[in-house]
């Protein structure tokens, strides 16, 4: 399962964001470092299509797509050297697939700011610098090992050393590893094997009170020259609106100039960052919406569901959801010849309704 790690300065609203996204209740208090152990929860975002599928096919259960969310304690300047709660948190981040970077853009007299003022651009740079420093440490460690091997005349190790040094130089200039160009698979694999924090896809979560012109300007300045995804949200408000029906919540959001379902927006951006698509399956037992890497084959999709389905794979019967709707059931669609049979190599597309045939 894909994991999203929440990072940011203390009191940026990370735990509140975590609580909003997931159904776990973890303490969100207005003092720094209230989060000590990383909290893990699940973000489930309803896929309306699977409800329709369940109804048409008579499935007992509905399973929506989800990703894992990890709440990581606040980073401060010097975290890479063990300041604040330091290194252990940076280690937690290395295990996630995407970083959600919560940035404070809200004013508050009661919630202290570790650097006293609302300044998203500065705060992003502080966090990013710590992540880069941690990556430099990782690169340095690897370098030390490989230099020894390179001295023995090992050609791969020599190549590695050259690449690591170039990467080191690149990061030292304040660049994220994700921006480092890779010339071939060797370089791609080597860099991937380092699990660098700044090589992970990132989404900013600008946590505002309300979206007025001043806040808009602050956010624009902070993301200028960056190509990263972001959402703008009042995390505290959304946490409070969590139990309200969507239409009522929307009325409140309008007052803050922050319309739209933020959970859905966040989830869709995560899917995009991770390059995931959703496909649907339905049996008597359950209808389910699955996420899988774009480009994955029917064979891989089968494996995601169950190793037996993959092992005994015969064929995948596929119909795009939009077309499925025209027929109202898989059976009718099949009878009308609208379902296509595909082999193992078929590449799964967003919204495919798939029925796997396999030898038990
Ligand atoms: N948009 C907002 N407007 C006003 N207050 C907010 C907003 N977002 C969060 N807060 C408040 O800020 C305080 C700190 O939030 P939270 O505990 O989620 O921060 P955190 O980033 O998890 O901090 P830590 O690094 O200490 O774990 C809470 O009291 C929360 O209610
Ligand atoms: Mg917290």
Asked whether residue 54 is assigned to any structural domain, the reply reads: no
Half-sphere exposure of 109 (CA within 13 A, CB side): 0
Structural domain that includes position 302: 295-358
User: Is the beta carbon of 240 within 6 A of some atom in ligand 1?
Assistant: no
The ligand whose atoms approach the alpha carbon of 235 most closely is: 1
Shared domain check, 250 and 109: yes
- Please calculate the CA angle 249-254-258 and round it to the nearest 5 degrees: 95
Q: Which of 36, 233, 236, 262 to mutate to test the pocket of ligand 1 (most atoms within 8 A of CB)?
A: 236
**Among the listed residues 49, 104, 102, 116, the one whose alpha carbon sits nearest the alpha carbon of residue 71:** 102
Relative to the CA of 35, which ligand 1 atom is closest? 27
Asked whether residue 279 is assigned to any structural domain, the reply reads: no
The ligand whose atoms approach the alpha carbon of 7 most closely is: 1
Asked whether residue 126 is assigned to any structural domain, the reply reads: no
Determine the Cα–Cα distance for residues 199 and 193; give it in Å rounded to an integer: 11
Shared domain check, 192 and 83: no
DSSP 179: G
Q: Whose CA is nearest to atom 17 of ligand 1?
A: 28
Asked whether residue 328 is assigned to any structural domain, the reply reads: yes
Measured in Å, residue 28 CA sits from the centre of ligand 2 at 6
Would you state the pLDDT for residue 34? 47
Q: Whose CA is nearest to atom 13 of ligand 1?
A: 30
Would you state the pLDDT for residue 85? 56
DSSP-assigned beta bridge partners for residue 315 = 357
Shared domain check, 262 and 137: no
Shared domain check, 70 and 163: no
Shared domain check, 306 and 189: no
User: Is the beta carbon of 104 within 6 A of some atom in ligand 1?
Assistant: no
Asked whether residue 251 is assigned to any structural domain, the reply reads: yes
- CATH value at residue 187: 1.10.150
User: Is the beta carbon of 193 within 6 A of some atom in ligand 1?
Assistant: no
Q: Both tokens of residue 184?
A: 């071939």
Structural domains counted in the chain: 3
Shared domain check, 208 and 85: yes
- CATH value at residue 258: 3.40.50.300
pTM of the predicted model as reported, rounded to 2 decimal places: 0.89
Shared domain check, 209 and 83: yes
Measured in Å, residue 168 CA sits from the centre of ligand 2 at 31
The ligand whose atoms approach the alpha carbon of 205 most closely is: 1
Asked whether residue 127 is assigned to any structural domain, the reply reads: no
Distances (CA, A) of 238 to 5, 15, 252, 285: 19, 13, 9, 34
**Among the listed residues 100, 170, 163, the one whose alpha carbon sits nearest the alpha carbon of residue 136:** 170
Relative to the CA of 31, which ligand 1 atom is closest? 26
Question: Of 147, 166, 198, which residue constitutes the final position of a domain?
Answer: 198
Relative to the CA of 17, which ligand 1 atom is closest? 18
- CATH value at residue 341: 3.10.20.30
Shared domain check, 92 and 240: yes
User: Is the beta carbon of 38 within 6 A of some atom in ligand 1?
Assistant: no
Does the structure's ipTM exceed the value 0.90? Answer: yes
CB neighbours of residue 110 within 10 Å = 5
Measured in Å, residue 233 CA sits from the centre of ligand 2 at 17
Shared domain check, 332 and 248: no
Shared domain check, 318 and 251: no
Shared domain check, 212 and 188: no
Half-sphere exposure of 65 (CA within 13 A, CB side): 25
Determine the Cα–Cα distance for residues 181 and 19; give it in Å rounded to an integer: 37
Asked whether residue 267 is assigned to any structural domain, the reply reads: yes
User: Is the beta carbon of 29 within 6 A of some atom in ligand 1?
Assistant: yes
Question: Of 141, 172, 198, which residue constitutes the final position of a domain?
Answer: 198
Determine the Cα–Cα distance for residues 213 and 235; give it in Å rounded to an integer: 19
Shared domain check, 187 and 98: no
Per-residue pLDDT of the chain (360 residues; tens, 9 = 90+): 789 999 999 999 999 999 999 865 444 444 344 454 558 888 988 899 999 999 999 999 999 998 889 888 777 677 666 665 556 666 778 889 999 999 999 999 999 999 999 999 999 999 999 999 999 999 999 999 999 999 999 999 999 999 999 999 999 999 999 999 999 999 999 999 999 999 999 999 999 998 999 999 999 999 998 889 999 999 999 999 988 999 999 999 999 999 999 999 999 999 999 999 999 999 999 999 999 999 999 999 999 999 999 999 999 999 999 999 999 999 999 999 999 999 999 999 999 999 999 998
Measured in Å, residue 20 CA sits from the centre of ligand 1 at 12
Residue 352 and residue 280 in contact, taking contact as beta carbons nearer than 8 Å: yes
Measured in Å, residue 231 CA sits from the centre of ligand 1 at 17
Asked whether residue 124 is assigned to any structural domain, the reply reads: no
Determine the Cα–Cα distance for residues 19 and 238; give it in Å rounded to an integer: 10
Q: Which of 7, 8, 10, 13 to mutate to test the pocket of ligand 1 (most atoms within 8 A of CB)?
A: 13
Question: Of 167, 198, 229, which residue constitutes the final position of a domain?
Answer: 198
């Amino acid at each position: 399962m894909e994991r999203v790690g929440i990072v940011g300065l203390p009191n940026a609203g990370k735990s509140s964001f975590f609580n909003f996204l997931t159904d776990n209740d973890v303490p969100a208090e207005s003092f720094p470092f209230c989060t000590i152990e990383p909290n893990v929860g699940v973000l489930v975002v309803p896929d309306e299509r699977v409800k329709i599928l369940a109804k048409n096919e008579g499935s007992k259960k509905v399973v929506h797509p989800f990703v894992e969310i990890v709440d990581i304690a606040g980073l401060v300047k010097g975290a890479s050297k063990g300041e604040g709660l330091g290194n252990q948190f940076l280690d937690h981040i290395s295990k996630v697939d995407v970083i959600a970077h919560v940035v404070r853009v809200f004013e508050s007299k009661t919630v202290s700011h570790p650097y006293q003022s609302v300044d998203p651009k500065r705060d992003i740079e502080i966090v990013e610098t710590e992540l880069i420093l941690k990556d430099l440490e990782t690169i340095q460690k690897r370098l030390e090992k490989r230099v020894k091997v390179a001295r023995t005349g090992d050609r791969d190790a020599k190549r590695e050393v050259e690449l690591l040094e170039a990467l080191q130089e690149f990061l030292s200039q304040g660049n994220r590893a994700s921006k480092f160009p890779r010339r071939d698979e060797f370089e791609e694999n080597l860099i991937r094997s380092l699990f660098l924090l700044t090589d992970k896809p990132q989404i900013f979560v600008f946590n505002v009170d309300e979206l007025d012109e001043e806040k808009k300007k602050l956010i624009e300045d902070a993301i200028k020259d960056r190509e990263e995804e972001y959402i703008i949200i009042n995390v505290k408000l959304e946490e409070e609106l969590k139990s309200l029906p969507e239409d009522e919540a929307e009325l409140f959001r309008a007052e803050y100039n922050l319309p739209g379902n933020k959970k859905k927006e966040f989830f869709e951006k995560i899917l995009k960052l991770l390059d995931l698509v959703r496909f649907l399956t339905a049996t008597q037992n359950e209808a389910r919406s699955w996420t899988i890497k774009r480009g994955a084959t029917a064979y891989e999709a089968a494996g995601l569901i169950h190793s037996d389905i993959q092992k005994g794979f015969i064929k995948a019967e596929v119909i795009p959801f939009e077309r499925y709707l025209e027929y109202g059931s898989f059976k009718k669609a099949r009878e009308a010849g609208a379902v296509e049979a595909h082999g193992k190599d078929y590449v799964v597309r967003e919204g495919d309704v798939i029925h796997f045939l396999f030898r038990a």
